[in-house]
Amino acid sequence: MASRSQGRSPRRIPAGSGPYGVGCGDIMAGLSTSGVFFRLFYPMEKTSGGPPKKARPPWLLGSQYAKGYGAVAGKKLAGVTLKWLLSKVTLPVWWHGKLSESKTKYPVIIFSHGLGGCRTTYTSICMDIASHGCIVAAVEHRDQSACASFIINNNNSNGTANELDQQWITYHKAAYEEQELRTRQVNQRKDECIAVLDYLQDLDEGGHLENDLDPDMDLTVFQGHLDLNDVALCGHSFGGATTIACLSRDDRFKCGVAFDAWMFPLDESHLDVKQPLFFINTEKFQWKANITRMLSLVPDIHASSGPRRMVTVRGTVHQSQSDFSLIVPQFLAKLTSARGPLDPYVAMATNNFAAIRFLSNYLDLQFGDETDGPVSSSDDLIMIGTNVCLLDVEEKEQRKENGERRGSLIRRSLRLKRRKSRSPKENEERESERKEKTEEQRGD
């Protein structure tokens, strides 16, 4: 395993930790924002050495996405810099690879990205889950919370879309706590995730479904192989909020994992969740008001097992749960706070292990014989609950005052004990010395 401290890590997306290789492809259905757009990760038979270079898709999806990441960062030149730095990063997956036939049906997970992300931003998580025998649909949201996205206006005569056909949806930079906007966005995101599940259900049942973005992708191979009774949700930040919103609205989702969830966009109706839910937080992102809202969904934050849990991964920051922590150069990662003290590969492996173990309690994933729990009990990287202090200011002051009182009583008790341990003559001498000092001070 990699060192736990920061070092000169290679800039790459690691292969999945499960027994399967991973294939992928992009699916777009519908020529408007009411359609669906997602990247599908799915299990393949594992090969030695992984996919060849020519079969590996790029991580960065093009200039518009690089420009969008720059807009998210608020830096004019950031998009150009990112394109230069990340254009050669490829993914250890087979583009249009063959679905494994080792199982009749595979469980399904819908993944929702955070603010400024897109369908490739969380490849490390999605691919790792898929490698354990799961089909993962990474949604690209069109609510202007993605770094960039697009719809297709028209198709060419050969049925494929080119750049001239693409109508771009740009990232809308706004105050984080702009209630009307965030409410609208989280509701659209919820609808998009549910629409993807509807699409996958139609696909599994043999519906004649088009892929407007990539007609060369053979969708018929998935028919009859999706277990729509075994469905879960995962999401990061705004995607964590989207996960909770979907759970509250659609009971087809059996459970959810919220990575560093941002709770602000959710109203009270979204908090009516019956399914199992796991919060995996980073050490440096969370704050009291956000954690307090999570507590309405996690009755016992000290629970190390069961359907409702919360853990914090030590030494991590918000981007430790995205691919950025792995692929940006170390100097840029420090400049943009994309990495915490913990080695980014160890952080990602710990994060994914906790999520997959939880999901394996409710979905048919190939994960081994480990007992129920977020991670190994001996792993000191996981904190059960939160590192955020949840005490009110008044309660803190009261505890401080009580501590000072206890300290005063302890000191008085120690003086009395020392006095009792001395002889009467010693006590008389000390009392005489004390009086003399008092008289001298008065004289001065």
Active site residues: 237, 260, 318
Q: Cα(124)–Cα(136) distance, rounded to whole angstroms?
A: 12
Q: If you compute the radius of gyration of the chain from its CA atoms, what whole number of angstroms results?
A: 28
Q: Cα(237)–Cα(17) distance, rounded to whole angstroms?
A: 24
Q: How many residues does the chain have?
A: 444
Q: Cα(239)–Cα(192) distance, rounded to whole angstroms?
A: 12
Closest CA to 323 of 136, 87, 134, 117: 117
Tokens for 229? 């009774």
In DSSP terms, 384 is beta-bridged to 311
Q: Cα(59)–Cα(322) distance, rounded to whole angstroms?
A: 12
CB contact at 8 A, 13 and 124: yes
- Residue 187: count of CB within 10 angstroms of its CB: 17
Q: Cα(365)–Cα(130) distance, rounded to whole angstroms?
A: 9
Tokens for 173? 């930079």
Closest CA to 286 of 306, 314, 256, 308: 314
Closest CA to 197 of 239, 153, 230, 151: 230
State the burial class of residue 145 (Cβ atoms within 10 Å of its Cβ: 0-12, 13-18, 19+). buried
Q: Cα(131)–Cα(150) distance, rounded to whole angstroms?
A: 29
